[in-house]
Amino acid sequence: MRVVPLDNGTGGSTRFGDVDAFQRLASRTSAVLAAAATEFQRGWVLYQDIPFFAAAAAWTGHPGWSATVLPRSSGALHARGDQRRVEWERSMLLRACTRGVCVGAISMAMHDHLVHDVGVPAPAMADLFNGLTDADAVFDPLGGDALLSDTARQGFVLAMGRAVPRKGFEDLLAALGFLRAGGAALPPVVLAAVSESSTPTGYQRYLAEEFTRLAPGGVFVSRFTPGVRDLLAHRALRALVVPSRVEPFGRIPLEAYAAGACPVVATTAGGLAELVRDGVTGHTARPADPRSLAGALRRALNCSPAHREDMRAAGRTLLSRYDYTATVRAHLAVVAAWALDPTTGHTGSSHTVRRHPGCDARTRVRVLQIPEVCEWNPYVADLEAALRRRGAVVLHPGSCRDVPGTHPPSPASPPRTVPVDVVHLHWPEKLAHLHGPARAVDYLRALKRQGAVITQTVHNLTPHEPDRVLTGYLHSVDALTDAVHFFSADHERLARTVRPLLPGYRLHQGHPTAPPRQTMGAPDGPRVGCLGRIRGYKCTAEFAEVFLRGALPAATLLVAGAPDSLAADAQLRRLATQFPGRLDYRPGFISAHHEFEDLLHQVDWVALPYRILHSSGVLVAALRAGRRILSPEPVGGRALYGTYAGSQEWLALDPWDDEHAVTLWNHRTPVPGPVPITSRLHLPTWDDAAAGLLDLAATAAQALRNAPIRPDAHPAPLGVV
């Protein structure tokens, strides 16, 4: 390793500086990189954060070299009043994009901020989410003991971070004041509001004075030491508070999960909303709202030991998705695959990872899912985690993200092709929505020409929207697909009647799920729920109309999800007014899976009034939670999902009819109240699904090597088919 000091023109007096310092730093950085490019044939440059934006904008694109700029924050987030700085950052990032520099996002919140607020083109973005390494998970439980008072060793609340206003420590102090004024008995507070200064800054002196007044008996720490971080593993820790007003990522909750600290109390500012889930991994509050923060801290201190253990386990589960080593390797597989050891897929590691047969990759199998991210349900994220556990590298080049309010990129900015072994399509129409059908097909063809094997899970037989262009697009995608995953043989037979170009290599495997976690029914039944996105093919509004007019007078209906049409929303709002107390209509995006599970626990029946039911994430989640089901007979039959004790647990109609369904439900509904569920759910795990997908791709790859076909074989017109 060679270290080259860089000069930002401040003579070493500050490592950050201002725009003028950043410009001077760029000149020296560019000169060093130009010299390195003459010495090394290949290289990758990581421009780390705002001081190097100008250097990224000056990137000259040396042959064999690539570059990434990684903004960890922006002036638009924490220096809004500095207009010169904000505009300078925007212009530098946009100029870097025009020079082929990839812009990394450290969180979903930062990705959306850079695209929508700063204006970075979406195709230039790549998800390089922050996280922890193995070394970050090492703590000394007694390392911070010397920082504590004798009283704090019996129990304390911890908050830590840089002593700047955006960290929200003033809000925490105000929240403590509210709690004490309300008579709450609080343990001592340890506030580590630290700086690099050898003496306390003016802001630290102000915080210390307020801390002494509002948190008597507490401990104020002004300089960071390793012992501060070790306090996360101290046995006396009662709660960790992260009160940030602005937070692009916020790694402290992840460190807390690694140390076993629980519960975590955090605001929902920026990336914190992705890391702390209210009631599941911790307790949340609104940013810059001391009363909301006080309420969250009160809930945390009063939670039961059992709830605390559940949150600790949920924190460890969430932490597993933020393996920073795996994230960096995945990014290198996109921008600098040569840097990975061809036998291990690692950077300089001797650890052997078995490469999956069938895909001729120089690294571990590289998988690109489309969409890469789906915030409507956890299917894509759960499969990604399983693929990584199987040794695959899952790529995030930013080609397709399915999130609420996603804006299509500029028509002049096609998605970037990346080195990839397996492209797995979940909902390929999402790619068409973002880039247009023709450009989406061209993108898949380009990946295929580079040697990628295209696999597809058939979730929907036809597009959700009645769009003839999308129907033609799906036929073109099917012609490019090498292997396909169906949920059952019956599902395959039905799919091939409308999708004749689907390939012959296929896998039959049920909808994967986590291990069953069945619970008792809702206590105030009979209560029926229609949950998830309210789309036309689900016929939710039509069913609600029939149910409210024909169901038992005591029956209530919960409809929760984002409506796709104004007409369905208007119909449900009218019904909620017409049937007060019987229709609970919650029209909004269900932003996290734990919120969806909370809704499941509010009903004892889940209705899926679809005209045809192939498989459904809502269905699987409801079965896993032990809810009773009212639905059409699923394609392939109920036996695909497990064993069920007749219509008391799963009332299925074939064919479906709203009136008939409500009539039968009225007669089958038992006495209101919880009913023991005796059914047994039998579905593949996510690890099963990942293994099946990789085996399917390997089989198709072997066949393609033996009998290669043209990437553009079986072309289908983009129109009416």
**pTM (2 decimals)?**
0.65
CA-to-CA distance for 721 and 717, rounded, in angstroms? 7
Residue 374 has what pLDDT?
84
Taking a C-beta distance cutoff of 8 angstroms, is the pair 298, 184 a contact? yes
444 part of a folded domain? yes
Residues 308 and 354 in one domain: no
Query: What sections of 60-168 are H helices per DSSP?
Result: 75-78, 83-98, 108-112
β-strands 366-370, 422-425 pairing: parallel
Residues 123 and 146 in one domain: no
Q: Give the containing element (helix H, strand E) for 512.
A: none
CA angle (685, 686, 691) in 5-degree steps: 100
Cβ atoms < 10 Å from Cβ of 506: 21
695 part of a folded domain? no
513 part of a folded domain? no
Nearest CA to 559 among 603, 510, 621, 504?
603
Q: What is the mean pLDDT of each run of 10 residues along the chain (721 residues)?
A: 84 78 90 91 93 93 90 90 91 93 91 90 85 92 94 96 95 96 93 91 95 94 93 96 96 96 95 90 95 96 92 88 86 82 46 33 74 82 86 85 64 70 92 88 91 91 70 89 90 87 88 66 72 87 95 91 89 94 88 71 90 84 86 85 75 92 82 57 84 87 59 35 25
704 part of a folded domain? no
Return the residue matching tokens 């998988």: 367
Q: Which of 264, 288, 318 is the last residue of a domain?
A: 318
CA-to-CA distance for 255 and 557, rounded, in angstroms? 41
Instruction: Provide the 8-state DSSP code for 451.
Output: T
CA-to-CA distance for 310 and 306, rounded, in angstroms? 6
Longest dimension (CA), the chain: 83
Residues 433 and 287 in one domain: no
The DSSP code sequence of 309-368 is: HHHHHHHHHHHTT-BHHHHHHHHHHHH-GGGS-TTTSSSS-----PPPTT---SSSPEEE
Q: Give the containing element (helix H, strand E) for 179.
A: helix 169-181
Residues 116 and 191 in one domain: no
Residues 55 and 160 in one domain: no
707 part of a folded domain? no
Query: Peptide bond preceding 371: is omega within 30 degrees of 0, i.e. cis?
Result: yes
Residues 356 and 312 in one domain: no
125 part of a folded domain? yes
Cβ atoms < 10 Å from Cβ of 652: 19
| Residue 612, domain extent | 527-681
Residues 178 and 272 in one domain: yes
The torsion of the CA quartet 698, 699, 700, 702, rounded to 10 degrees, works out to 80
Alpha-carbon distances of 524 from 548, 557, 604, rounded to whole Å: 17, 12, 9
Q: Which of 318, 337, 357 is the last residue of a domain?
A: 318
What burial letters (b/e) apply to 393-432, b meaning 16+ CB within 10 Å? bbbbbbbbbbeeebeebeeeebbbbbbbbbbbbbbbbbbb
Residue 667 has what pLDDT?
84
698 part of a folded domain? no
Q: Which of 508, 540, 558 is the last residue of a domain?
A: 508
Residue 467 has what pLDDT?
66
Residues 108 and 153 in one domain: no
Residues 123 and 148 in one domain: no
Taking a C-beta distance cutoff of 8 angstroms, is the pair 160, 194 a contact? yes
Residues 300 and 333 in one domain: no
Instruction: Report the Cα 175 to chain-centroid distance in Å.
Output: 30
Handedness of CA 354, 358, 362, 368 (dihedral sign): negative
CA-to-CA distance for 121 and 409, rounded, in angstroms? 6
Residue 709 has what pLDDT?
40
Residue 359 has what pLDDT?
39
522 part of a folded domain? no
Q: Give the CATH number of the domain where residue 199 resides.
A: 3.40.50.2000
**For the chain, what is the domain count?**
4
The torsion of the CA quartet 66, 70, 74, 78, rounded to 10 degrees, works out to -170
Residues 150 and 223 in one domain: yes
Backbone angles phi, psi at 224, to 5 degrees: -75, 135
Residues 489 and 624 in one domain: no
CA-to-CA distance for 516 and 118, rounded, in angstroms? 43
